[in-house]
Structure 1
Amino acid sequence: MTLSGQQSGRRTPLEVQHIRDALKREFSALISMSDYEGRQPHERENAFLSRALSARATRILTDCTSDEAAAGVIDGRNDFGIDAVGFSASGSEMWLIQAKWSDRGQAGFDTAAAHKLIHGLKKLDNRDFDHFNARLQLLADRVRAVFSIPTCKIYLVVAVLGEGRLSQETETILREAAQEFGGYGRTVRHCVLNQADFHQAVRDDLAPEPIDITATMTEGWHSRDTPYLAYDGLVCAQELATWYADHSEKLYDRNVRRSLGLTDVNQTLVTSLINDPQGFWYRHNGITVQCDEIDPEFFAQRGPSKPVRLTLRNASVVNGAQTVTSAHRAYEQDPDALADAFVTVRIISVSDAPAGFAKEITEATNTQNRMERRDFIAIDDVQAKVREDFRLTLDKDYVLRRGETAPPPDFGCSVHEAAVALACAHQDPALSARINGNPDSVWEDGPHGIYPRLFGQQPNAYQIWRSVLLFRKVRDRLHRCRPMLSGRAASIADSGALLIAHMVFQFVDADGIDEPDPEWESALDTVGELVDSTLKQLIPSVDKLFGDGSYVTTTFTSEYRCERLVAATLRAVEEGADAPDLKHYQKPSASKSTSRSNVVSLILNADGIAFGTELTYLPGPTEARAIGDWLATDPDRSCAIWIKNRTKPLQWKVDGKRYSPTGLVRHIWQQAGWKEAPSTVRGPKHWGIQNEGTLIEIADRIWQQYHTDEIL
């Protein structure tokens, strides 16, 4: 499996994937598809995407909410070429939208589509609302109100997943319609929204809100406006503290890293600010702020070096994050001390600067805390695109900056975890050995560096995320095996973890790893078995190749030894060579505990029920007589979904809330109005899975297996 940039062909362009995923997230629960019941899945999906595209166009053009945009979708039978209708807040403007979806980003808009859209406009202008479908008729009053305004503006909107180039003939048809329907104060125009417009709208939704801050310089400041506007002067540390109090970590969105917490350097800053505020300036390098605009306000006398309050639009602290954060912490401890502390602040407006200039400033100014190669990865354009791809394609987080908290496992990963996973997935085992010897080597640049071999051609979000998932599976399996191994075998499992992951990656078929096909992730089910078989062959291979007295740690940092180990171990696994079972390396086992966990814990620990499995309520004879009729009136009352929660593993279909098995039984009795219900009940006895039995029976089978089988 190679992850050095050679990716399989992609049927759907990445931009289209981003737009499709965003449309599904935004409109799946809002747009009705009832008229497509019973149709083929691909037909239903294409129809939904076309409708969602028209709704997204409405949001772009009118700045309405998602619910309002969805309510304006009228696509279907008797829509007369109009897929959605949008209205301005004033009620004097209306957008008639026809949308064209294409999985390949090649949608067009021809003369027939133009004539159809104009026909729809004519019918609306004639007030032939009863000719339209029910969805348009719900909007009839608003349409009528727009047409009643003499100065109304009507826009014919072409919304296509493609380049959006209209032929000369199509342009002529739309212009002639504008001339025919316009006049006497009424305006009719046409506009085109293409794939680039929709992708930009998706990206804009993810963009952080701009931050405005103020910097007050009372004396001794300087400014220059050539080639770019900039100010340099002293700002009170109290004002810096308010920056962080108001905006916290958002201040550093363009910095190479977040605040690193109370490191030794930062603690020194806090102490210095409190104990010697007047001397702080002499020992400090200053900070740098980038912004789009600088608005000066002279609050005393206007002129050079006169007191000025600068409002910085869309500002970001690109150097000095530790200083600003430390000022805030010092202010929390002693607000008065900071009144005498000043910091040199350099402010640069980069709105008119050439591309790359802002990045150069960030790299050049970050010298106060020790910089690591990893820190500059945070402003690498490739990583920025990967992070965007994660958000748009997977709706997950991809954390870049050192000091920034990694997301929960199900919600994303850090660039470090991604890099290590990609290194293990690479066909060259030397990468795993180098990272074992020096974890920071993953960031090495240059012709022989690991970093360009992993990210040189920007692997996509699917490829990275699935590599991370597989790597986690290997790590988790080794974590389960490790406590049962002793001595040299345990050391090999620890030190060889990355190389084991590398070998497991070689066994997993890489076809489709970078495509949206969910079938690929079924390959993860084989990882546990692959880890066991690889570890069984690896442990004796170390001794056979290098002797039972060789240093284990050194072995797994040697590129030469790792290459030999991989070749020997993979061959042994593929040939099914004899090797001691892993239990051969187990610690002498203590007697197993006879204490038994509760039913839910047993099932969860053994992963005995798959997430999302439907369970059925099984009332006893007395219950059935008392509440049977109530249960029968709504089948959902007897259904719950299994979720992975130790205290409340059941999600009732009726209200979507979580309950314990016993708690849900009691809740059902209460909802049914069963006043004579018993005071106690064993809930797991009353919930079961067809052909598998009740929760108690499932737990009993797991317990019996635990006492008759070896784990490995």
Structure 2
Amino acid sequence: MGVLHLGQIKQALEVNYFPHLDFSGADQDHHRLSRAVAAVAMADRSGLSAETVSKSVTDHTGDNGIDGVIYAADRSTIMFVQSKWSETGKGLSSGDVHKFVHGVDQLMVSDWSGFSGPILARRSEIEDILFQPGTRVELVLATTSTADLATEQTEILDKFCGKMNDASDLASYVYLNQSRLHQSVVSSAGSQIDLSVNLRNWGSYREAGCVAYYGTASAQEVVEWHRAYGDLLFSRNIRGALSGTEVNASIAETAGADPARFWFFNNGITVIAESFEQAPFVNQKSGNFTFSRASVVNGAQTVSSLAVAASSRPELIESADVFVRFVTVDDPDGDFARLVTRRTNTQNRVGGREFVALDPEQERIRMEFAASGLRYAYRSGESVSDTAKGCDLTEATIALACAAGIDEAVLVKRELSRLWEDTAKRPYKKLFNSSVTATHVWTAVEVMRRVDAAIERRKPLVDGRDRSILVYGNRFVLWSVMDYFNVRDVKARSDFELPFDSGEIDKRANMSIDFISDVVNRKFPDAYPQPLFKNQTKCRELGPELAALLEAA
């Protein structure tokens, strides 16, 4: 990489991003190019258009080191970007990185002091995203320098991610240097990728002028594609390779733990290509193919997860196979190719939430609700239009979990789907079993709704760290109120009337809200609220103190 690639990057930025960028306050050429670098970095990481990401640039004297903010909804990740255009080879300084991380650190606790300009104008949007359950944070550092990050810089980033990842993987960072940025602009210009593959038990399908070849490929061969081309493999996909998701973890685990049967457990990979060549073959048991202008349009997570598994246990991948389908079209960027991409990525997926519908206890609870003129919706796609006359499975699960104990309340905050993972054992069986009646479910839901309403009333009245603690600690507050009233064991009334005084619920909810910040700041003053309430060990320490204050009040 050098002058030639730098010139190609500059031309791509000027052509594709400059027309959409606001250059207010960017008087010098390198300032304008730095904003364009922030935009291309956001496009690379989110898959969004040049026009969209250009509007998300926040470079300003009051940005506290944050030059761009973008949200990738497909992987529930908010990305904060720091960018720098450099023609001298000098990249980001440690001071730049420190300022950037400190700025992100402030946003994690809703501290907006010192911010101004475009990023401050997006305060409501950014806070709404950060407060959404399951939101991950990605720090993106982008520069046209060829240098790697220095040890001091990685230590700053590792320290931030370490604090955020206290209970689960919430934060990560990505460094895009000149080589990576060049790959990105080349990809968006339509790069040429030729994939060679040995297909076993292969076949073909011809229809409407298209030819598709399919068969079994070795996982090792797929991993080699990723090693050679990285995320450029997914340039025409609706999203790139995700990281840190349940699906990816499951794929990598299956490939490592049971590689011989990986073919049976995986949905496979779909590739769009412009043309193909087939080498001479003896029989249809094995054939060597080369597909030109190829792109993985479905199965990016399979490819990237196999690469992860191969890096940790390469010997296990040797016996793993994967189903691959190559669809050859005259125009890989045309309408039919886009249809293949869209349709193969929007087929229905069945997860733990759907398997809950097979549990007979759910139907029993629904019938008990119905007998009293109320509705309980537990199947996917069902909903309750009037919440005064019923509830759904999600509400019931959250309410019962927070009534069950601290561990279950933490799990609600960390990964709600885990509660539905296996209907034959805990934690699901602790929440839904033959002793749990519809009136018990309704009682827990009604208490939850009153506590949630109290929290919503208080949110506009608090700011900064106290607001973050209240938002991220909402289920912990709910647990404390459930614990105070012993909702888990109380005998629910058969007429579906709340067995507690509603005014007393509101009173105890407000007390818990008053106490929670003091308890957290005394026990864990330096902890980020978001991961704190996903940490079972720390919440077990906080619980007795909050419960004692509520009991004594």
Q: Normalization by structure 1: what TM-score?
A: 0.29
Structure possessing the higher radius of gyration over alpha carbons: 1
Q: Normalization by structure 2: what TM-score?
A: 0.37
